[in-house]
Amino acid sequence: MKSTLTRPGTKVSPKLFLFNVLNGVAFAIVAGLIPNAILGELLKALAPHFKIAVVLHQITTAIQFSVPMLVGALVGHRFKFSPLGIAVVSASSFIGSGAAVFKNGAWVITGIGDLVNTMLAASIASLLILFFGERFGSLNLIILPTFVAVFTGFVTLVTLPYVKLVTAAIGTMINTFTEMQPVLMCMLIAIVYSMTIISPISTVATSMAIGIAGLAAGFASEGITAAEAVLAFGTWKVNRLGVPATIILGGVKMMLPNMVRYPIMLVPIVTTAAISGIIGSFIGVGGTKESAGFGIIGLVGPINAFRFLHIDDVWLKVLLVFIAFFVVPFTVAYIAHFVYMKIFKLYTKDIFKFLG
């Protein structure tokens, strides 16, 4: 049995290495969390009435537990590792995530673990595989799973408690700031997420990692929605219908090449995010760490915002959520394009021609 990994000492630039890890994490997070994010609330509501809804909800919840291994598999795929290399990175990521805990003489799956530590495990395992490559020939079948997975697992289990402390502290700090200065922080969080969604960094992974929740999670969704609205209007007349449609359905990162070449497009995005975040703070838009990174994709943001509004009138809640996620961001995005293109002439519509 021959397993081709890569040449010993294969060189990968730091930029490409980071991009491969982040890209792998982004796809793994979406694949693992989207099913429950989209169907979870609906299935919960149907569970008391239909037994099949209970089973389906259990399935969508269980899919989330695969995230650490999906991270490893997709990171390994980005590096073009062999099946053996992908398996080793997957195993390392699973152990490093801390998702499996030994309690009372049995292993227990506690969730998806810590995503930052999972990324660290995938990075260490990938570095070791890139270093060793085919150095040991057929012995790779024994050495790589034994050495790389065990060594990486040990190192990341040591770092896990400290990484958890840091990520939990960041999440607590952000959530506390939203309570102390809600208007200012809602605007800043919305701006940060509006720029992050168009970058190689996964907003879902970031949200899960730092444990953002409550108002902060709602503002994050507002920021992502603002970016989607700006890019949808921007790409509407200079691309085929598939481009804006894909953006609305979640393919915002496809515009990353355009943003790198024309960073001026961040101006309307930031403007829309800031205004949407401020209005969202007055409405009281909330969310969870699972919903914060999606925006209006799959209506994940609006559904969770609806749950967090403490208003008895159901139709009023629906109206406020609709205003926060559709009326405000899309109206502001349209006005921002008009002001920046027609009045200030900062850019033309051609910067939104899809470069991919």
Q: Is the pLDDT of residue 221 over 90?
A: yes
pLDDT tens across 201-214, in order?
A: 668 767 877 778 88
Tens digit of each residue's pLDDT (9 = 90 or more) over 250-308: 778 788 888 888 999 999 999 999 999 999 888 989 888 878 888 887 788 898 899 88
Bigger pLDDT: 334 vs 139: 334
Please report which confidence band the pLDDT of residue 350 belongs to, taking 50, 70 and 90 as the band edges: very high
Q: What is the mean pLDDT of residues 218-229?
A: 94
103 DSSP β-pair partners? 106
Q: How many residues in total does the chain contain?
A: 356
Sequence spans of domains, the chain: 14-167, 181-352
At CA 92, angle to CA 101 and CA 34, rounded to 5? 75
Here the tokens at position 153 are 């697992």
pLDDT at 3 over 60: no
**pLDDT at residue 133, rounded to an integer:** 74
Cβ-proximal residues to 155 (8 Å cutoff; 6+ apart), any chain: 124
Q: 225 pLDDT band (50/70/90 cuts)?
A: very high
CB distance 217 to 291 below 8 Å = yes
Q: Which of 307, 297, 303 is nearest to 26 (CA)?
A: 297
Specify the pLDDT at position 310. Answer: 84
Is residue 320 a contact partner of residue 309, using CB atoms and an 8 Å limit? yes
List the end-to-end C-alpha distance of the chain, in Å, as a whole number: 38
**Residue 102 identity:** F
Structural contact between residues 173 and 45, judged by C-beta atoms closer than 8 angstroms:
no
C-alpha distance from residue 212 to each of 205, 231, 328 (Å):
11, 25, 23
For 5-9, 131-135, 163-167, 245-249, which range has the lowest pLDDT when averaged over its residues? Answer: 5-9
Q: Which helix (H) or strand (E) holds 271?
A: helix 266-283
pLDDT at 64: 87
Find out whether 213 and 287 touch, Cβ atoms under 8 Å.
Answer: yes
The DSSP secondary structure of 275-297, one letter per residue, reads HHHHHHHHHT----TTTTTTTTG
Of 161, 188, 155, which is closest to residue 174 (Cα–Cα)? 188
